[in-house]
Structure 1
Amino acid sequence: MKTERHARILEIINSMDIETQEELAKQLKLKGIDVKQSTLSRDIKELRLTKVLSDNKKYKYASISHKNNVKSDKLIKIFAQTVVNVEKVNNFIVIKTMSGSASAAAEVLDSLNLEGMAGCIAGDNTIFVLMRNDEQAQIMVSKIIKLMND
């Protein structure tokens, strides 16, 4: 049941802009899955869903797109343990890592599949991330700080 519910949640958020847990619960109910808010909240945490800015300037749920959650968890742990500083400069983000760790940390950023990220370049201990605008850059900095503190 849980596996099917998780699959349906991912299917829903990948096919439509879902802004709230209530909207998600409603869409699940339309697919024949009745879920309590507390269960849905746990599902969101287990699936590592995050909110991203959509094209219509509203926040929606999105997932870290990795086929292997174990790999994803390891990457996030590497990211959190190696990033030492993050700074927004206009629509660029400069991320400093421990020496030799930038490429692994950049892999995490790529796996997040966040809207507005044009791309990133990793050196030995520095990552440059180009965002499409200042607002999306600020959102990305907030997400990076959250990953660092998780």
Structure 2
Amino acid sequence: MKSKRHIKILEIIRQKNIETQEELAEELKSEGFNVTQATVSRDIKDLRLVKMQGATGIYSYAAPKTEENHLSAKLTKVLSTLTVSVENIDKMVIVKTVVAGANPVAEAIDGFGFDDIAGSIAGENTVFIMVRSIKGAEELVIKIREYIS
């Protein structure tokens, strides 16, 4: 749950200007995470988030570039070691994994922050991902293949 929450925090701060821990906690709650301010504080420390001044002069949370690279490296490792194949059939993307690899692969793909994903279902060795458009499905397959090659 912690890694899912960390991925969601990084996604939130990329998309919105979050000025306080309370704002971040509210965003996480609206995404279905049951968190306290203390939990958010620990997450900020774990992720090494910093407050940076934006173009408008307002300070908001941001992830240092090294954290994004670290997360990207984690995603690449999970996908490259557990994924067997990926293809799309219309708007559906099917990812075949090693046995018991579907859940971590699905979580890694969720970490992409790919807006065109409507939802995903992970079984034992297969992940089904419904994408909003055929073009989006094709782009997702290309992106996954880049990670696993």
TM, length-normalised to structure 2: 0.54
The list of structure 1 runs, each at least 4 consecutive aligned residues, that deviate by more than 4 angstroms after superposition, is 10-13, 43-46
- Residue 24 of structure 2 is matched in structure 1 by none
Cα-Cα RMSD: 3.0
Say whether the 8 Å CA contact 1:94–1:126 is kept in structure 2: yes
- Residue 111 of structure 2 is matched in structure 1 by 111
Q: Percent identity?
A: 30
Q: Find the residue that maps to 1:112 and give its secondary structure.
A: coil
- Structure 1: how far apart are the matches of 2:81 and 2:15? 30
TM, length-normalised to structure 1: 0.54
Say whether the 8 Å CA contact 1:121–1:129 is kept in structure 2: yes
Say whether the 8 Å CA contact 1:75–1:104 is kept in structure 2: no
Deviation of residue 101 (structure 1)?
A: 0.6
Unaligned stretches of 5+ in structure 2?
Answer: 1-10, 17-54, 57-63
- Residue 15 of structure 2 is matched in structure 1 by 14
- Structure 1: how far apart are the matches of 2:104 and 2:12? 28
Question: What letter is aligned with 1:94?
Answer: I
Deviation of residue 13 (structure 1)?
A: 6.4
- Residue 130 of structure 1 is matched in structure 2 by 130
Question: Alignment length, in residue pairs?
Answer: 98
- Structure 2: how far apart are the matches of 1:98 and 1:110? 18
- Structure 2: how far apart are the matches of 1:121 and 1:145? 19
